[in-house]
Amino acid sequence: MNDKKLHLEIMTPEKKVVDEDVDYVSAPGFKGEFGVLPGHADLVLLLRPGEVAVDSGGLISYYAVSWGYAYVDESSVSILVENAEKAEEIDAERALKERDKWENEGLSSLSHRQLDEELEYGRSVSQETAGMEEGNEDLIKIGLKKERAQARIDVAARIVEKK
Q: How far apart are CA 94 and CA 71, in angstroms?
A: 30
Q: How far apart are CA 130 and CA 127, in angstroms?
A: 6
pLDDT at 87: 80
Q: How far apart are CA 158 and CA 150, in angstroms?
A: 13
Q: Which amino acid is at 80?
A: L
- For the stretch 113-158, pLDDT in tens is 555 555 555 555 444 444 444 555 665 666 677 677 677 777 766 6
Contact 108, 122 (CB under 8 A): no
In this structure, the strands spanning 76-81 and 68-73 are antiparallel
- For the stretch 81-93, pLDDT in tens is 988 988 888 676 7
Q: How far apart are CA 122 and CA 136, in angstroms?
A: 7
pTM for this entry: 0.67
pLDDT at 122: 53
E-only strand ranges, 37-111:
43-47, 50-56, 59-65, 68-73, 76-81, 84-86
Instruction: Please report which helix (H) or strand (E) contains residue 19, including its range.
Output: strand 16-22
